[in-house]
Amino acid sequence: MNSMYYGSIEAGGTKFVCAVGNEKGEIKDSIQIKTETPEITMPQVIDFFKNYDLMAIGIGSFGPIDINVDSPTYGFITSTPKLPWRNYPFMKAIKDEFDIPVGFNTDVNAAALGEATLGAAKGLDSCLYITVGTGVGAGAVVQGQLLSGLSHPEMGHILIPRHPDDAYSGKCPYHQDCLEGLAAGPAIEARWGKKGIELADKKEVWELEAHYIAEALMQYMLILSPKRIVLGGGVMKQKQLFPLIHKKVQTLLNGYLNIPEVTENIEQYIVPPGLGDHAGITGGLILAKEAYETVRL
Amino acid sequence: MNSMYYGSIEAGGTKFVCAVGNEKGEIKDSIQIKTETPEITMPQVIDFFKNYDLMAIGIGSFGPIDINVDSPTYGFITSTPKLPWRNYPFMKAIKDEFDIPVGFNTDVNAAALGEATLGAAKGLDSCLYITVGTGVGAGAVVQGQLLSGLSHPEMGHILIPRHPDDAYSGKCPYHQDCLEGLAAGPAIEARWGKKGIELADKKEVWELEAHYIAEALMQYMLILSPKRIVLGGGVMKQKQLFPLIHKKVQTLLNGYLNIPEVTENIEQYIVPPGLGDHAGITGGLILAKEAYETVRL
Ligand SMILES: Nc1ncnc2c1ncn2[C@@H]1O[C@H](COP(=O)(O)OP(=O)(O)O)[C@@H](O)[C@H]1O
Ligand SMILES: Nc1ncnc2c1ncn2[C@@H]1O[C@H](COP(=O)(O)OP(=O)(O)O)[C@@H](O)[C@H]1O
Ligand SMILES: [Zn+2]
Ligand SMILES: [Zn+2]
């Protein structure tokens, strides 16, 4: 038993990653668990953490979730299309087993916190983390805090102008051709008839993808003015996207944001994750640490 | 002489409003000054405030401005198209005359602060204020603080999908058909051949206008999740826009944000300014108060 560790849960739609580590993001132990029903998945999560005497646990969860501390359903997964998890009291399930502070936020907010604390935006009090994968999601650290308001952001579903040459109708069940509907991995596959990874050498695929991502980044920049933008997720493994996105963002803004980070050093402004695929799980450790410190105050 | 007052400057492209008042937003005296060159306008501003023994002055200025406290040009108006004001050290000009704390932010951030403190979003720690007038601008209070990052937001220039029936090309010199290019007062006038006020009874004008504003609000909501949205500026004097916008936001979101503020009580969520045309000048008083309290800490 070691009592200097935090627990972290990255709860995704296909798998849960659980880890035990410290506030430097050093991971001592971790496990992957398939996402099935809460009845099947959660006992495995709990068993894993039972091996440790933890100070706190941080959860970064798929959503939508309730992060409003004053709400009766605070800590719940809410209206998710994954029916077994709908209205699931995630935070309570952990608290009932471990009588320690629990931090709770979205998976992408956790990743943003990880990148801002220990990753590509380390030392900055502001960072936008975007994942382009099965869906598009984003989390933000603003003035040193995870962004929230009425609820957590849902940035993946913004509307963007369609490219005039793109005949694909879009894949979002709510909005059809929102950003996620046009640019997430499944949209790439549906438009071109192959998975992204098999299209690696098709220039037109990544030109169009960069166009849509750049349109979205332009909105995020104009609205949030983040100090750094971190792009992760499966689709961003296509590293040729980065220079295309850099150029398109500048073209779209057309000199409007006259800031050196944008006009001169955009390669250092829009970047891959510093923590690779560990942004979320690392962010969970930081969420745990923040929960621990808040309770101690 | 009375030493319990704050000064406030609302610096706009056509006029400056200067006021003296208290932290409750009660205004004791005010003046309007035409915006000419700094050499002509600023001495009148200074003369006005010389009549009072003020605790602090708050400035809400047209932009772009530098609000980065660590920057050598902090407190400057920067790359404005209004050439006499380009690279103008606004804050220093006031500080050189009055040795008191000075708060400095954008006109729309000041208005957002006014509405969040004493107006339509009073009591909330989050508010988005948007003006639709000669341009489109927005400011936001997020988790109790004015939103800033790399710089202040420039939300008026986001890209939105064009309405399929709208043949008007757009008026923004940077982006042509961004939000401001499609929906600000001058775009309405250019598209329909008459000023907005003369088009009051043309249903199709306000249907289209509401469509574009709703598209923009959807992005702001998904990205920032504000607790209330306040819509001001000349164009929003057309009060018939509000119910049209309410409906269109719900239609566009299509149930995606499953939050009662949006699905049930949207009339209380997207609202006119509580302070009428005084949001900006009131916000300047609050900026002054915050500057005063920060210095005293
Ligand atoms: N190397 C790759 N190149 C292009 N697309 C990829 C690559 N790896 C994964 N993807 C796509 O990304 C999506 C999966 O995203 P990922 O971030 O891995 O998982 P998730 O979003 O489910 O957490 C799939 O649509 C897949 O086709
Ligand atoms: N009652 C009104 N109805 C429609 N449009 C209006 C009305 N009043 C002003 N406008 C339009 O709003 C713009 C001016 O916006 P305003 O907010 O008054 O000033 P500014 O943005 O310059 O501070 C003009 O384009 C004008 O035509
Ligand atoms: Zn969508
Ligand atoms: Zn523009």
Domains of chain B by residue range: 2-109+277-296, 122-272
The reply to whether ligand 2 has any atom less than 6 angstroms from the CB of B114 is no
Backbone angles phi, psi at A69, to 5 degrees: -55, -30
What is the pLDDT averaged over residues A101-127?
97
pLDDT digits (tens, 9 = 90+) for A238-268: 999 999 999 999 999 999 998 999 999 999 9
Average pLDDT score, chain A:
96
CB contact under 8 Å between A149 and B226, yes or no, is yes
Specify the DSSP element, H or E, that contains A216.
helix A203-224
Do A175 and B219 meet the contact criterion of CB atoms below 8 Å apart? no
Give the integer Cα–Cα distance in Å for B193 and B178: 20
pLDDT digits (tens, 9 = 90+) for B257-294: 989 999 999 999 999 999 999 999 999 999 999 999 99
Do A202 and A191 meet the contact criterion of CB atoms below 8 Å apart? no
Q: Would you tell me which CATH number, out of the four given (3.30.420.40, 1.10.357.10, 1.20.1050.90, 3.40.309.10), belongs to the domain A2-109+277-296? A: 3.30.420.40
pLDDT band at B295 (very low <50, low <70, confident <90, very high): confident
By the CB criterion, residues less than 5 angstroms from ion ligand 3 are: A 157, 172, 174-175, 178, 180
Give the integer Cα–Cα distance in Å for B208 and B253: 17
**pLDDT of amino acid B297:** 63
What is the pLDDT averaged over residues B17-25?
97
> With 80 as the cut, is the pLDDT of residue A2 above it?
no
pLDDT digits (tens, 9 = 90+) for B215-241: 999 999 999 999 999 999 999 999 999
Q: Which residues contact A243 (CB under 8 A, 6 or more apart)?
A: A267
Give the integer Cα–Cα distance in Å for B250 and B221: 12
Which residue reads 């502070």 in tokens?
A101
C-alpha of residue B88 to centroid of ligand 2, in Å: 27
What is the pLDDT averaged over residues B184-209?
98
What is the pLDDT averaged over residues B90-102?
97
> With 50 as the cut, is the pLDDT of residue B1 above it?
no
| Ordered DSSP codes for A151-172 | S---GGG-B-PPPTT------B
A175-178: Cβ within 8 A, 24+ apart: A175/B252, A175/B254, A175/B256
What is the pLDDT averaged over residues B166-171?
97
Give the integer Cα–Cα distance in Å for B139 and B146: 8
What is the pLDDT averaged over residues B239-245?
98
User: Which residues of B fall within a CB distance of 8 Å from A126?
Assistant: 149-150
Candidates A207, A238, A217; CA nearest to A160 is A217
Q: Is the pTM of this model over 0.80?
A: yes
> With 80 as the cut, is the pLDDT of residue B36 above it?
yes
> With 70 as the cut, is the pLDDT of residue B2 above it?
no
> With 90 as the cut, is the pLDDT of residue A3 above it?
no
Q: Which residue of A has its CA nearest to B151?
A: A225
Interface probe with A: pick from B67, B211, B224, most Cβ of A within 10 Å: B224
The reply to whether ligand 1 has any atom less than 6 angstroms from the CB of A197 is yes
What residue owns the CA closest to ligand 1's atom 10?
A234
| Ordered DSSP codes for chain B | --SSEEEEEEE-SSEEEEEEE-TT--EEEEEEEE---HHHHHHHHHHHHHTS-EEEEEEEE-SSB---TTSTTTT-B-S-SSGGGTTB-HHHHHHHH--S-EEEEEHHHHHHHHHHHHSTTTT-S-EEEEEESSSEEEEEEETTEE--SSS---GGG-B-PPPTT------BTTTBSBHHHHHSHHHHHHHHSS-GGGGTT-HHHHHHHHHHHHHHHHHHHHHH--S-EEEESGGGG-TTHHHHHHHHHHHHHTT-S--HHHHT-HHHHEE--TTGGGHHHHHHHHHHHHHHHHHH-
Candidates B220, B144, B263, B193; CA nearest to A144 is B144
Give the integer Cα–Cα distance in Å for B6 and B22: 6
Q: Which residue of B has its CA nearest to A71?
A: B259
**pLDDT of amino acid A297:** 63
What is the pLDDT averaged over residues A148-175?
96
Backbone angles phi, psi at A29, to 5 degrees: -155, 150
C-alpha of residue A196 to centroid of ligand 1, in Å: 8
Q: Is the peptide bond before B161 cis (omega within 30 degrees of 0)?
A: no
User: Which residues of B fall within a CB distance of 8 Å from A222?
Assistant: 153-155, 157-158
ipTM of the predicted structure? Answer: 0.96
CB contact under 8 Å between A220 and B218, yes or no, is no
**pLDDT of amino acid B4:** 84
Give the integer Cα–Cα distance in Å for B79 and A200: 41
B235-251 as b/e: b if 16+ CB within 10 A: bbebeebbebbbebbbe
B19-22: Cβ within 8 A, 24+ apart: B19/B281, B19/B284, B19/B285, B20/B49, B20/B51, B20/B52, B20/B54, B21/B282, B21/B285, B22/B285
Report helix, strand or coil for A21: strand
pLDDT digits (tens, 9 = 90+) for A200-239: 999 999 999 999 999 999 999 999 999 999 999 999 999 9
The reply to whether ligand 2 has any atom less than 6 angstroms from the CB of B195 is yes
B2-109+277-296 and B122-272: same fold? yes
> Torsion angle of alpha carbons B55, B131, B244, A68, nearest 10°?
-50
Give the integer Cα–Cα distance in Å for B99 and B76: 18
Average pLDDT score, chain B:
96
Q: What is the CATH number of domain B122-272?
A: 3.30.420.40
pLDDT digits (tens, 9 = 90+) for A21-59: 999 999 999 999 999 999 999 999 999 999 999 999 999
